[in-house]
Structure 1
């Protein structure tokens, strides 16, 4: 009787990956709550799943104001974690003091600037394999399904969280990509709104419209909430907290201020 042939390395690796996918739904998932019941109640486990891939995109008309809001939303999530963050990007326009305003210490951030768009997903995937990192951010215009699946598998193995910050070059590019399926566990869209009103002249706390467009195992939703504070925490506007219907506010945070939060102008 001849012994049963041993499977090739490639075949065994494929079997291991299939097994990990099969048990993925049964594994214990750690979560990071937002601290707002209206949002956490829509998410499985009551918070953002860690060790998974999440997408964050700018909403409204594409522009630097909404791009700043999406970036700060992502940075606020990272601020409520501990440990180093790898931030993969193409353009060196990320303004470190803005990250500090929402609680993300720039000393925690390691920057990796890719030479081209094709290299960025590889940087993200490689970063997700290192358990010494807390999270990896990838500023991507395109997120193919195959690449997102590889990221999700890497995140599940290492426990490192991935935030894919979608940065489209034009409205046409956004229209072509926004409806494409990915393996991300959640997909968020963030738009800037008029800031919270103050009893005296001035600019109040930033305010965003946050949309949970897609959530695996959860329920989509949309909220008008106050942007991240110095600890990365979101808040309910006063008119929602006390039940009133006032929606007055100043111009969207002041265009110069919002642009400066992303690009340092």
Structure 2
């Protein structure tokens, strides 16, 4: 008995969708990944780093300003390393321009490497990001949005693959303390970043900031969570050194030391 025309149409559509997904995966595998340079991170990532032609999502661990700043600097550090690797410019699209330029420069992404774009609504920002990705001349594209549905993230993933350009999507805003990463997405990786107390120093001062970096989801790999030291001037993270491996603070001489030496 011959199959109905509707059944054949559905089967053809499903086949085309699967073939297109296979092509995307092949392109992703052919684009070099950017490693973090930390074995405890890279060894747990399916591709040994961040896919250079994929969508990666970032969210703050909470609605606090501290976590928002940490998540912003985390993705800025990634963008800085992509820019240094390709010696190209980064496009940063948003609806409200509130970036702190000196802070971004401290993690390795100065004004000479940044191209800002502003849209009235999320849909405008997503359209800007998609066009920038398909252009293929940028080191990385960043977009800040309140929300992005499955269709939007699928379009960004396809555009990133077509343009062989990494896409960093910052899901910045929270609603009733609900994590933005709880909604479905086509992203290759999904990260959540929070502030944690820095190590107490042996001398007066402030230690290097620390973040709790969680890989909530990744394709073909498992999630994990690590405590890492914040980005340095080149956008690089670091594993906190155990206290016993730290250089001991020099002992400060005082009046009692002098008295002991004189007595000897």
Using the size of structure 2 for normalisation, the TM-score is 0.81
Provide, for residues 58-116 of structure 1, a one-character-per-residue CA deviation record: whole Å limited to 9, x for no partner. Answer: 00x31110000000000111111221111001111101111110111221111011112
The counterpart of 1:120, out of the listed 125, 130, 135, is 125
CA RMSD of superposed structures (Å): 2.3
Alpha-carbon distance in 2 for matches of 1:38, 1:15: 39
Q: Name the structure 1 match of 2:252.
A: none
**Do 1:97 and 1:106's aligned partners in 2 also have CA atoms closer than 8 Å?**
no
Residues 231/176 of structure 1: CA separation in 2 closer, same or farther (3 Å cut): closer
SS at 2:220 equivalent: coil
Alpha-carbon distance in 1 for matches of 2:244, 2:120: 46
How many residues align structurally? 229
Provide, for residues 210-260 of structure 1, a one-character-per-residue CA deviation record: whole Å limited to 9, x for no partner. Answer: 0000000122100011010001110111228959xxxxxxxxxxxxxxxxx
After TM superposition, give the deviation of residue 25 of structure 1 in Å. 2.8
After TM superposition, give the deviation of residue 118 of structure 1 in Å. 2.4
The 5 A counterparts of 1:136-155 are 136-155=141-160
Residues 133/35 of structure 1: CA separation in 2 closer, same or farther (3 Å cut): same
Alpha-carbon distance in 2 for matches of 1:70, 1:241: 30
The counterpart of 1:58, out of the listed 57, 60, 64, is 60
Residues 115/234 of structure 1: CA separation in 2 closer, same or farther (3 Å cut): same
After TM superposition, give the deviation of residue 20 of structure 1 in Å. 3.6
Residues 239/182 of structure 1: CA separation in 2 closer, same or farther (3 Å cut): same
SS at 1:143 equivalent: coil
Q: Name the structure 1 match of 2:103.
A: 98
Q: Name the structure 2 match of 1:194.
A: 197
Alpha-carbon distance in 1 for matches of 2:220, 2:103: 33
After TM superposition, give the deviation of residue 197 of structure 1 in Å. 2.5
Using the size of structure 1 for normalisation, the TM-score is 0.80
Q: Name the structure 1 match of 2:46.
A: 44
After TM superposition, give the deviation of residue 42 of structure 1 in Å. 1.1
Alpha-carbon distance in 2 for matches of 1:50, 1:196: 33
SS at 1:44 equivalent: coil
Alpha-carbon distance in 1 for matches of 2:244, 2:162: 40
Residues 89/162 of structure 1: CA separation in 2 closer, same or farther (3 Å cut): same
Residues 146/116 of structure 1: CA separation in 2 closer, same or farther (3 Å cut): same
SS at 2:93 equivalent: strand
1:217 aligns with 2:220: yes
Q: Name the structure 2 match of 1:71.
A: 72
Alpha-carbon distance in 2 for matches of 1:20, 1:104: 35
Provide, for residues 17-37 of structure 1, a one-character-per-residue CA deviation record: whole Å limited to 9, x for no partner. Answer: 764422233342311111111
| Greater percentage in helix | 2
Alpha-carbon distance in 1 for matches of 2:15, 2:156: 18
Alpha-carbon distance in 2 for matches of 1:34, 1:21: 27
Q: Name the structure 2 match of 1:21.
A: 21
**Do 1:196 and 1:226's aligned partners in 2 also have CA atoms closer than 8 Å?**
no
Alpha-carbon distance in 2 for matches of 1:241, 1:203: 19
Q: Name the structure 2 match of 1:235.
A: 238
